[in-house]
Every structure is written in structure tokens, then in C-alpha cells.
């Protein structure tokens, strides 16, 4: 497997692949790969001839008080894992390669970026869309795979692709979880042993919401307060938000209607580790 670190070289390789008629699939990541990432690589492999995994901890999507410096990094391990899942090329640029001096252009999706994560991380999605637009121009893919784990991000990327006419098919892959339900995340390594146990409360609260809905509860306020109660039973947990929204507009919904689908999304800090999770529920 090839590791490419330079933009020009990556673009040349992508051009050559396209000239040979190869379908290129890209999986953008920040590295420290886990089964969630590998599932995306496997899906990309099924749908394309050549899979490029990008590994770049993007400073632009971290606020100054966030975990950019301590974000886990291990390229050697990532190379082995990516290869085992069928990845052909890793694109792993430096920060200077992606953001040379005098970088002045940003991509910003409106409205969808202001709610949920956007309320707590106001500059985050501008960083995400800017780097993903650049990665699309660098790897020149036909398809790109993102995870439902970051449901809002996937929706925003789809919006950007539509609005800016990127000729790329966006595939959204299901959330991969640990055996106790915790959604896999590179950030799970920050959790202490007891925090790791408490962290399962995110999934448990989503399961509780699903159960309440199955038992015919239709009032979002009631569902959310029961989720809150469960989460607050863990001493290390602090809720940033719990929301029940339309999965296409991210607008909050007060009363759930038959035949519709809803996204239940939450962000909870377990100690100093901020975790997100979500589920899609069809009524």
C-alpha cells in the first residue's frame, strides 16, 4: 500500500487512475483507525476499484480549547489496519501541505451548521467542509463514504456536494458499536476505566428513547426528560444537548407523527471527554 503525503502527487495519481477508467472511493478520517473507520473502507472497496483513505487531523475543525494537540495519532498502526480492510492508498499530508501560508479560502454551509453540534462548536463545520472540499479536489473520487456516527456532518457534506456541484456520490455507513453499545470513536481512548463504563449511558439513553417510542410515546419533551434522567444517574456525565429532529432539516420536532423518520442525537461529556451518538427512528 502506498502512503502519499504531497497534494500534487496525490492529484497526479488520481488523474492516472481516472485515465485508466478506475472508480475511486475516498474515506476521509482523522486516523487512529478503529472498526468504524474500517467498515467505511470495506464499503468503499465494494463500490470502487481503488480506495484512498485520508488521514489528517484537521486543525481547522478544532476550537482553541479543544483536543487538537492530544488527539491520538499512530500512522504505522493505521497503515496496517487500513490495508487489512482493503485500502489501496493513504493520503497523509502535513498541516503546512494542506494550509500553506496565505491560505484564505473557506467553505461554509449555512443553517444546518448552526444547530446541535454547531451550537457548542461554532467553527467546527466550517473546518470540516473546507477540508473535505480540499480532499475531494485532491483525491478526485467518484464516491466518498462517511459515517452515520456523525449524522449532522454527513448531512452537511451532502448539502455541500449538492450546492457546489461536486460530481461525487456520498454514501453514509451505519454506526459501528462496541459489544456494550458504545459507539466506536478515536476519542474513547481518553476514557478512564470507570468513565468507559459510564459512557455506555449514551447508547442506553438512545435505546430508552426507542423503547418509549415503541410504547407509543409521541411527545419529544417527555422522551428527552427520561433520557436526561438516565444520563444524569452517571456522576461523570454532563449533557451538552439531547434533541429529536427532522433528519433532513435538523429542525426540532415537538410531537412525533406516524410514518415519519426522526433523528435522536446527543452530545454528552464523560469527565473531560466529549462523546456524540445518535439513532434514526421510524414511527
Binding region for ligand AMP (CB under 6 A) = 29-30, 36-37, 39-40, 146-147, 149-150, 173, 175-176, 183-186
* Residue with Cβ nearer ligand AMP (133 or 223): 133
Beta strands in the chain (DSSP E): 2-4, 24-29, 50-55, 89-91, 143-147, 169-173, 237-245, 261-270, 273-282
- 269 Cβ contact list (under 8 Å, min separation 6): 237, 238, 239, 240, 275
CB of 29 to ligand AMP, least distance (A): 4
Alpha carbons 127 and 149: distance in angstroms, whole number: 18
- Count of residues making up the chain: 283
39 vs 279, beta carbon nearer ligand AMP: 39
Nearer Cβ to ligand AMP (48/220) = 48
In the block, residue with C-alpha cell 490495508: 83
Q: How far is the CB of 215 from ligand AMP (least distance, A)?
A: 28
Residues 135, 7: contact at Cβ < 8 Å?
no
Residue 72 to residue 54: CA distance in whole angstroms:
15
Whether 37 is catalytic is yes
**Three-state DSSP class for 95?**
helix
- Are 224 and 242 in contact by the 8 Å Cβ rule? The answer is yes
Between residues 185 and 220, which has the closer beta carbon with respect to ligand AMP?
185
**CB of 72 closer than 8 Å to CB of 108:** no
Write down the least CB distance from residue 236 to ligand AMP, Å: 21
User: Would you tell me how many other CB atoms lie within 10 Å of the CB of residue 198?
Assistant: 19
Q: Tell me the closest approach of the beta carbon of residue 88 to ligand AMP, in angstroms.
A: 18
The CB-of-201 to ligand AMP minimum distance in angstroms stands at: 17
Structure-block grid coordinates of residue 22: 478506475
Judged by beta carbon, residue 29 or residue 139, the one nearer ligand AMP is 29
Catalytic residues: 37
Amino acid at each position: 500500500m502506498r502512503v502519499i503525503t504531497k497534494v500534487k502527487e496525490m492529484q497526479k495519481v488520481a488523474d492516472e487512475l481516472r485515465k485508466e477508467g478506475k472508480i475511486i472511493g475516498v474515506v476521509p478520517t482523522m486516523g487512529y483507525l478503529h472498526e468504524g473507520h474500517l467498515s467505511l473502507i470495506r464499503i468503499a472497496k465494494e463500490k470502487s476499484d481503488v480506495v484512498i483513505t485520508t488521514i489528517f487531523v484537521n486543525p481547522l475543525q478544532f476550537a482553541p480549547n479543544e483536543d487538537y494537540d492530544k488527539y491520538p495519532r499512530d500512522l504505522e498502526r493505521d497503515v496496517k489496519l487500513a490495508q487489512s480492510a482493503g485500502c489501496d492508498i493513504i493520503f497523509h499530508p502535513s498541516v503546512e501541505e494542506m494550509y500553506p501560508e496565505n491560505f484564505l479560502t473557506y467553505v461554509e454551509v449555512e443553517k444546518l451548521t448552526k444547530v446541535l453540534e454547531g451550537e457548542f462548536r461554532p467553527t467546527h463545520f466550517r473546518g470540516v467542509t473546507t477540508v473535505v472540499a480540499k480532499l475531494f479536489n485532491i483525491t478526485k473520487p467518484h464516491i466518498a463514504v462517511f459515517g452515520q456516527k456523525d449524522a449532522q456532518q454527513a448531512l452537511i457534506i451532502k448539502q455541500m456536494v449538492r450546492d457546489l456541484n461536486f460530481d461525487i456520490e456520498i454514501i453514509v455507513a451505519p454506526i459501528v458499536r462496541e459489544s456494550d453499545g458504545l459507539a466506536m470513536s478515536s476519542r474513547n481512548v481518553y476514557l478512564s476505566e470507570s468513565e468507559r463504563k459510564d459512557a455506555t449511558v449514551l447508547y442506553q439513553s438512545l435505546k430508552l428513547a426507542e423503547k418509549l417510542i415503541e410504547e407509543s410515546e409521541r411527545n419529544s419533551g417527555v422522551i428527552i426528560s427520561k433520557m436526561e434522567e438516565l444520563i444524569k444517574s452517571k456522576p461523570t456525565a454532563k449533557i451538552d444537548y439531547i434533541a429529536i429532529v427532522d433528519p433532513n432539516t435538523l429542525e426540532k420536532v415537538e410531537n412525533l407523527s406516524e410514518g415519519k423518520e426522526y433523528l435522536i442525537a446527543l452530545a454528552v461529556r464523560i469527565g473531560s471527554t466529549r462523546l456524540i451518538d445518535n439513532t434514526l427512528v421510524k414511527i
